[in-house]
Amino acid sequence: MPIIERRAEQRGVLSTYSNPIYGALRASAAKADSLIGALGIFLVGGLIVAIVGAAMFGILASNVQSGSTQAFDESVIRWLAAHHTRTLDTVMVEITALGTGIVVMMVVAVAALFLVLAEHKYSVILLLASAIGGIVLNAVLKLGFNRPRPTMFAPLVHAVGSSFPSGHAMNAAIVYTTVAYLAAGLHQRRWARWLVMTAAFIVIALISFSRVYLGVHYPSDVIAGIIVGLAWAAFCMVTLEAIQNFAFRHDPLIQGSGKPALYGTPQDPARPS
């Protein structure tokens, strides 16, 4: 039985949320006769996701630079400021900590350690590439736009650097989505995968909301961060799946460099359908 890495079961760019699209890509890639062919089919899908995300970000960024979003942004922050409570302040401070650089990197480190011990090297590459690439991309975007942070009221937490796009929202979207995507592959039941991915999106939404509530970001900042983060994570995931798909079907050298799937090979009748 050939040795393969764990993701033998059909999964999409965002796990169970896009299985129909990913299924079509996988079926097409199965017919590819070369590494370039297999990679090309999946990379096209990833590029489509990335391009759509980039287009949405570009439209939003253009509106932010023209000042079209400013009235909306400020009205949301003022409304939230009028509804602050001491309890909610404490809760939001704790939630926003989940998106700080230290916490996010710890999540990456722990997940990567588990994957290394389990010998899932392609998953480690995906996680590190998406996380590190996201940090670099966010830094470049912040320098390029250099948007001042909100000043409607004194922020409840310390924040440095420019405001657009939100680093907390972007890093959370990248890391928590990627980790959830990898974790979903360990579950044999569909409802468990939905639960994992849904939990990740809830965490991302809460972190993003906390940044606006605490007065350190405009709503458009966190929306932009989520859009770019999800687009980058999706591209990284599809790229990994392209390599995986080729390894499963065509190249014994790549196929033998990973760990057996956690719940069997594609031909294993014990593996859940």
| Dihedrals phi, psi of 163, to nearest 5 degrees | -95, -25
Cβ neighbourhood burial of 253 (10 Å; 0-12, 13-18, 19+): exposed
Beta carbons of 193 and 16 less than 8 angstroms apart: yes
Of 111, 170, 92, 110, nearest to 138 by C-alpha is: 170
Residue of 94, 62, 48 lying closest to 224 (CA atoms): 62
What residues are annotated to the active site?
168, 217
Between CA 102 and CA 2 the distance in angstroms is 39
Helix (H, G, I), strand (E, B) or coil at 200: helix
**Measured between alpha carbons, how far is 222 from 98 in angstroms, rounded to an integer?**
15
